[in-house]
Amino acid sequence: QSALTQPASVSGSPGQSITISCTGTSSDVGGYNYVSWYQQHPGKAPKLMIYDVSNRPSGVSNRFSGSKSGNTASLTISGLQAEDEADYYCCSYTSSSTWVFGGGTKLTVL
């Protein structure tokens, strides 16, 4: 199984909005509403931010939102804050009953 495709890096200024894309195939992202997003700060374990495409776990800021169109899922962060600077990974269920992650996107807050 091939990793989902994410941009290597994105950046934005405080207060702005950014969107990170996650492209797969009809066998993973496009075939199921089981896309999740994780935030990882350096040296820390990943943290769940979005699950099932657009659901936010309790305790996660409503500045984080998710969506999907076709084979591409997206994570949007609005009102960018310094603490949002981290690596972000998408993850999808696949038709083989397995899970595949994206390559990761480094978010820089300028």
- What's the min distance (Å) between Cβ of 15 and other proteins? 29
CA 78, distance to chain mean position in Å, is 14
Q: Taking the complex as a whole, how short is the minimal distance between the CB of residue 36 and other proteins, in angstroms?
A: 5
Residue placing its CB nearer to other proteins in the complex, 24 or 46: 46
Minimal distance in Å, beta carbon 79 to other proteins?
A: 24
The residues facing 96 across adjacent strands are none
Residues contributing to the site for other proteins (CB under 8 A): 1, 3, 34, 36, 38, 45-48, 51-52, 55, 57, 89, 91, 93, 96-104
- Distance from C-alpha of 10 to C-alpha of 19, rounded to nearest angstrom: 8
Residues 6+ apart with CB under 8 A from 68: 29, 33, 35, 53, 54, 74
